[in-house]
């Protein structure tokens, strides 16, 4: 077991657990406020993050490590939509940097499978970031009329 790689995998898992908690919190709050379309989109991303956490745990277990079970931060609650999206952009930007750096370290440590895992997750995190940036842009440019289109189911 390579400690550097294991630490990166567990740090990534803790970050994914935070994203899951944050996105599900946003999902519940948005659903409750009748922003069902946006809530559904964020829930889908949360489910993708759950799959990321599971992939990381499987790799950690394969390497004979113990997957971390605690998120690295606490979910923010009671945010306005623009605050939610800013939080989500921050989480995805942080993950992208982390996974880029981790892929480089894994390559240096000659663990190509972990490198490939980080690169796979990186591509998916970039797609999530794009989604959140698009939502932010729509709210910034269109305001209330856009918000009206994301209410209901």
Average of pLDDT values for 78-104?
A: 97
| Predicted pLDDT of residue 153 | 74
In the chain, where the domains are located = 3-71+79-149
- CB-CB neighbours of 124 under 10 Å: 17
Average of pLDDT values for 92-107?
A: 98
Helix H or strand E encompassing 39 = helix 36-62
Q: 7: which 2 tokens?
A: 């630490």
Tens of pLDDT, residues 18-36: 999 999 999 999 999 999 9
Contacts of 120 (CB under 8 A, 6+ apart): 55
Residue 144 has pLDDT above 90, yes or no: no
Share of the chain above pLDDT 90, in %: 93
C-alpha distance across the termini of the chain, in Å? 47
DSSP state letters, 85-117: HHHHHHHHHHHHHHHHHHHHHHHHTT-HHHHHH
Query: CA 144 from chain center: how many Å?
Result: 27
Tens of pLDDT, residues 39-69: 999 999 999 999 999 999 999 999 999 999 9
| Predicted pLDDT of residue 151 | 87
CATH number, domain 3-71+79-149: 1.20.1260.10
Q: 47: which 2 tokens?
A: 């489910």
Cα separation, 145 vs 56, in Å, equals 40
């Amino acid at each position: 077991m390579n400690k550097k790689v294991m630490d990166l995998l567990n740090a990534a898992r803790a970050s994914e657990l935070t994203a899951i908690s944050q996105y599900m919190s946003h999902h519940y709050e948005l659903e409750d406020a009748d922003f069902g379309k946006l809530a559904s989109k964020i829930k889908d991303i949360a489910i993708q993050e759950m799959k990321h956490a599971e992939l990381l745990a499987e790799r950690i277990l394969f390497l004979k490590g113990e997957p971390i079970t605690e998120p690295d931060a606490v979910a923010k609650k009671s945010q306005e939509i623009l605050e939610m999206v800013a939080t989500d952009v921050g989480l995805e930007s942080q993950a992208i940097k982390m996974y880029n750096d981790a892929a480089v370290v894994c390559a240096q440590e000659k663990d190509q499978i972990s490198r490939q895992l980080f690169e796979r997750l990186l591509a998916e995190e970039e797609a999530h970031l794009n989604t959140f940036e698009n939502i932010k842009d729509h709210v910034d440019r269109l305001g209330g009329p856009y918000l009206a289109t994301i209410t209901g189911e």
